[in-house]
A = this chain, B = another copy of it.
């Protein structure tokens, strides 16, 4: 799972709780990363219709949808994330051994099965579910930018 997913979920939670327009610099401060990275991620969320973006003075990002209706699966798909990545492939398709030549393809099937299982799980978690998991037993209401 790429860090972009964490950036996206973090931003969506923050935007929902602030309930106002926030620019990439403020988001980057809270997420602890840089504004360019935030913009890159938010652009994808905008294309998926999960946030609204406005350039110019007083511009920034704003939530569009109810946090309860936005699932982490939608976020992952908006980013084009593949939860379980192949990274390295064993064997060699050119070899005349059915194990060596076929293993990479067989493992792709395994990774896909795992990815599907992850997506199914993510479809059952909403942004508001994540909010509920934030410091569940501490005094709430602390929402600062620094």
Contact = CB atoms under 8 A, between A and B. Distances in A.
Interface of A: 1-3, 6-7, 9-10, 13-14, 17, 30-33, 72, 83-92, 95-103, 105-107, 109-111, 113-114, 116-118, 120-122, 125, 130, 133-135, 138, 140-146
Contact of A113 (B7, B85, B125, B135): B125
Given A3-B88, A32-B90, A97-B145, 9 more contacts: A1-B84, A1-B87, A31-B90, A95-B146, A103-B134, A106-B130, A106-B133, A117-B117, A117-B118
Contacts of A116: 121
A118 B121 CA distance: 10
Contacts of A72: 110
A145 B84 CA distance: 30
A30 B114 contact: no
The 7 lowest CB-CB distance pairs between A and B, nearest first, are A3-B88, A102-B134, A117-B121, A106-B133, A117-B117, A10-B90, A114-B118
A138 to B, nearest CB: 7
A115 B58 CA distance: 41
A1 to B, nearest CB: 5
